[in-house]
Amino acid sequence: MPASVSSTRNPFSDAATPAVGVTIDDLCKSFGTFEVLKHVSFHVPPGEIFVLMGPSGSGKSVLLKHIVGLELPTSGKVTVDGLDAADETTREKVRMALVFQAGALFNSLSVYDNLALYPREHQLADEAGIREKVMRALQILSLENAANKFPSELSGGMKKRVAIARALVMEPQLMLYDEPTSELDPVMSATIAEIIATLKEQYHVTSIVVSHDRDLALGIADRVGILMGGQLRFLGKPAELRTPQDSRVADFLNPQIDLQNPRFKQLETQA
Amino acid sequence: MKLLTDALEGLGSTLLLLARALSYTRTLPRQFGRFIEQCYLIGYTTLPIVAILSFFIGSVLALQSGFAGKDFGAKQFIGLLVGVSMSRELAPVMAAILLAGRVGSAIAAELASMKVYQEIDALVTMNIPPARILVLPRLAAVAVMMPVLTIVADLVGWFGGAIISKYTHFIAIEPESYFATMRQYMHFDSVLNGLIKAEIFGFVVVLVCCNVGLNTRGGPREIGAAVTRAVVVSLILILVLDFFVTRVLA
Ligand SMILES: Nc1ncnc2c1ncn2[C@@H]1O[C@H](COP(=O)(O)OP(=O)(O)OP(=O)(O)O)[C@@H](O)[C@H]1O
Ligand SMILES: [Mg+2]
């Protein structure tokens, strides 16, 4: 499919469905009295690769969960393709896949059955067709030999790859990745980046990628957002990241390792 | 107060789960594999212990009533007594209690760990409702297996009573006359009554354990807490429901 076609293929009907956009509108989320997200707003147009960066604990995973409707906003709204993400029926209308930070593989199913569950449950193909899809996804992520293993028998990086393969089999319109490359070697990370870019070029899949990987952000992102302390501190083209205005963003992106005056010692003297 | 709101919340979420699971009933034929697997788990793990326990309960019933009745010549009614108590009350209640202990705890543990390790979240994002693939097959399986377990408990319990009645010196009734009184005075109603009870108890136990498991929050420690809660709530419900169902059926 040429890049100019702005639609994704729907495996249910094989019909082309329009690519979907995501809008986060003044989103606030608190757990008890603890505010995790504070008035976050941005829009990801259909077919864009949006990379979300930010320090650990800044609320990136919580934000992704709002997009698939696993967390409900305290205030504000998240819409996917114009539909309220908090509404259960949105998941029926838009195919979304989330690659969980911890994988969230089904521990009682083999790798093969983990991948095959979605097409089987949604009756997308017969068993032979499913086998072909699943084996292709496993091949892309160099997992052919792991098909009959169980999640408990896999290494951390393999689990991550299985989680990505499982999301690929879903042929989603919207892909959400929570740190897809954090446990992978450089070559596998490059493969993941290529997959994300190819899904965009060929199928116009919208992707939101949470990652600490600057190469990934600079290499494939259309736009980058930086979330710090629950607020969006930066939103722009990857090229603008080289010369950030905000000093905290600059420090986050290019931390200097200071052996004379290490950060943890600074904390001690402050206290 | 907290207890009351918790109880009401539990009731609400359980009924909601039931409604959801039942709304997927027409997917049951293509979940036949899961249904059979659950039938096997429920039947296989519970049947041996149900059989052993009901043998002893039948025996004790015969002993106690033989002992109580030996002075005024009521011992020919032992068969009737064991038959009725077993089928109306003890078989269904005991099968349900064992179900809660063996199967209910396992269900709660499995679903709670799926919740804690985000497998349930993954299912939800894949638009595969947990009520459809995790709850419905279990409910269907228990509905089929509970009568089987109860009938086995009835038969083994009656049989245990007959053996004890023959070999205990102060009773010493031949199995022929033991079963004759049972056949003569006991109605099929008693058995049916027990089967209805067992069906209700089994269904409630599985539903409650599924709901407790799916509503687990937090880390691995909560899995243990969920199992305890599921079993305790099941046991309380069995005994409370036993009173009301007996009242209604009487
Ligand atoms: N269910 C929850 N209940 C209470 N607090 C939560 C919950 N989920 C997340 N948090 C809190 O929200 C904050 C943001 O968490 P989140 O997982 O989004 O961080 P993150 O940006 O993804 O970090 P990392 O890069 O380490 O994955 C953390 O301080 C965390 O403690
Ligand atoms: Mg995270």
Task: Return the CATH number at A179.
Answer: 3.40.50.300
* Residue A144, min C-alpha distance to chain B (Å): 23
Q: How many CB atoms lie within 10 A of CB B242?
A: 17
Residue A61 CA to residue A65 CA, distance in Å, equals 6
Last residue of a domain, one of A145, A170, A195: A170
Cβ of B125 within 8 Å of Cβ of A91? The answer is: yes
**Which residues from chain B sit within 8 angstroms of residue A123, using beta carbons?**
30
Residue closest by Cα to atom 3 of ligand 1: A31
Residue B14 token pair: 């359980």
**Which residues from chain B sit within 8 angstroms of residue A102, using beta carbons?**
117-118
* Residue A124 falls inside a structural domain: yes
pTM assigned to the model: 0.90
* Residue A1 falls inside a structural domain: no
- A180 and A166 in a common domain: no
Question: A151-184: per-residue pLDDT in tens?
Answer: 999 998 899 999 999 999 998 999 999 999 888 8
Residue B66 token pair: 């033989």
- A211 and A263 in a common domain: yes
3-state secondary structure of B149: helix
Average pLDDT over residues A201-214: 88
Residues ≥6 apart with Cβ < 8 Å to B240: none
Counting Cβ atoms within 10 Å, is residue B234 exposed (0-12), middle (13-18) or buried (19+)? buried
> Is A56 close to ligand 1, i.e. is its CB under 6 Å away?
yes
- A184 and A90 in a common domain: yes
Compute the mean pLDDT over every residue in chain A, rounded to the nearest whole number: 88
Alpha helices, DSSP H, located in chain A:
60-67, 88-93, 111-121, 127-140, 156-169, 186-203, 214-220, 247-253, 263-270
Domain residues for the domain of A65 are: 7-95+174-270
> Is A64 close to ligand 1, i.e. is its CB under 6 Å away?
no
Nearest in space to A21 (alpha carbons), one of A52, A43, A53? A43
Closest atom of ligand 1 to CA, residue A71: 1
**pLDDT of chain B along its 250 residues, tens only?**
888 998 899 999 999 999 999 999 999 999 999 999 999 999 988 999 999 999 999 999 999 888 887 777 777 788 888 999 999 999 999 999 999 999 999 999 999 999 999 999 999 999 999 999 999 999 999 999 999 999 999 999 999 999 998 898 888 888 888 888 888 888 888 999 999 999 999 999 999 999 999 999 998 999 999 999 999 999 999 999 999 999 998 8
In one letter, which amino acid is A165?
A: A
Ligand 2 center–CA A213 separation, angstroms: 13
pLDDT of residue A259: 82
In this structure, are residues A101 and A179 in contact, taking their beta carbons and an 8 Å threshold?
Answer: yes
Asked whether the CA dihedral B208, A88, B111, A133 is positive or negative, the reply is positive
Ligand 2 center–CA A59 separation, angstroms: 7
> Is A36 close to ligand 1, i.e. is its CB under 6 Å away?
yes
Q: Which chain B residue is nearest to residue A98, measuring alpha carbons? A: B125
**Which residues from chain B sit within 8 angstroms of residue A104, using beta carbons?**
117-119, 121-122
3-state secondary structure of A42: strand
- A213 and A135 in a common domain: no
List b or e across A154-167, with b for residues whose CB sees 16 or more CB atoms inside 10 angstroms: beeebbbbbbbbbb
- A67 and A55 in a common domain: yes
Kindly write down the DSSP assignment for every residue of A43-57, as one continuous string. EE-TT-EEEEE--TT
* Residue A25 falls inside a structural domain: yes
* Residue A2 falls inside a structural domain: no
Residues of A with CB under 8 A from a CB of B: 65, 68-70, 91-92, 95-98, 100, 102, 104-108, 117-118, 121-123, 170
B217–A contact, CB cutoff 8 A:
no
**Which residues from chain A sit within 8 angstroms of residue B126, using beta carbons?**
97, 117-118, 121, 170
- A184 and A87 in a common domain: yes
Q: How many CB atoms lie within 10 A of CB A181?
A: 24
> Is A60 close to ligand 1, i.e. is its CB under 6 Å away?
yes
- A210 and A166 in a common domain: no
Q: Identify the nearest ligand to the CA of A53 by its number.
A: 1
**Which residues from chain B sit within 8 angstroms of residue A121, using beta carbons?**
126, 128, 133
Secondary-structure breakdown of chain B: helix, strand, coil percentages, each rounded to the nearest 5: 90, 0, 10
- A207 and A187 in a common domain: yes
Last residue of a domain, one of A118, A144, A170: A170
ipTM: 0.88
Name A28's bridge partners. A75
If residue B3 lies in a helix (H) or strand (E), which one and from where to where?
helix B2-23
Question: A29-50: per-residue pLDDT in tens?
Answer: 999 999 999 999 999 999 999 9
B119–A contact, CB cutoff 8 A:
yes
- A188 and A70 in a common domain: yes
Locus of tokens 């799926």: B114
Domain boundaries of chain B, sorted by first residue: 32-249
Average pLDDT over residues A210-225: 89
In this structure, are residues A223 and A236 in contact, taking their beta carbons and an 8 Å threshold?
Answer: yes
Residue positions counted in chain B: 250
Question: B138-173: per-residue pLDDT in tens?
Answer: 999 999 999 999 999 999 999 999 999 889 888 888
B40–A contact, CB cutoff 8 A:
no
Q: How many CB atoms lie within 10 A of CB A248?
A: 14
* Residue A100 falls inside a structural domain: no
* Residue A101 falls inside a structural domain: no
Residue A228 token pair: 């710090």
Last residue of a domain, one of A170, A194, A214: A170
CA A207 to each of CA A99, A186, B180: distance values in angstroms, whole numbers, following the listed order: 11, 21, 76
Average pLDDT over residues A117-127: 92
> Is A114 close to ligand 1, i.e. is its CB under 6 Å away?
no
**Which residues from chain B sit within 8 angstroms of residue A167, using beta carbons?**
none
- A13 and A84 in a common domain: yes
* Residue A34, min C-alpha distance to chain B (Å): 17
Probe site for chain B from A66, A93, A100 (most B CB atoms < 10 A): A100
Q: Which chain A residue is nearest to residue B132, measuring alpha carbons? A: A121
* Residue A77 falls inside a structural domain: yes
Cβ of A68 within 8 Å of Cβ of B125? The answer is: yes
- A206 and A190 in a common domain: yes
Residue A3: pLDDT band with limits 50, 70, 90: very low
Name A174's bridge partners. A96, A206
* Residue A21 falls inside a structural domain: yes
- A233 and A190 in a common domain: yes
Residue positions counted in chain A: 271
CA A199 to each of CA A138, A266, B101, B243: distance values in angstroms, whole numbers, following the listed order: 16, 45, 49, 61
Residue closest by Cα to atom 2 of ligand 1: A31
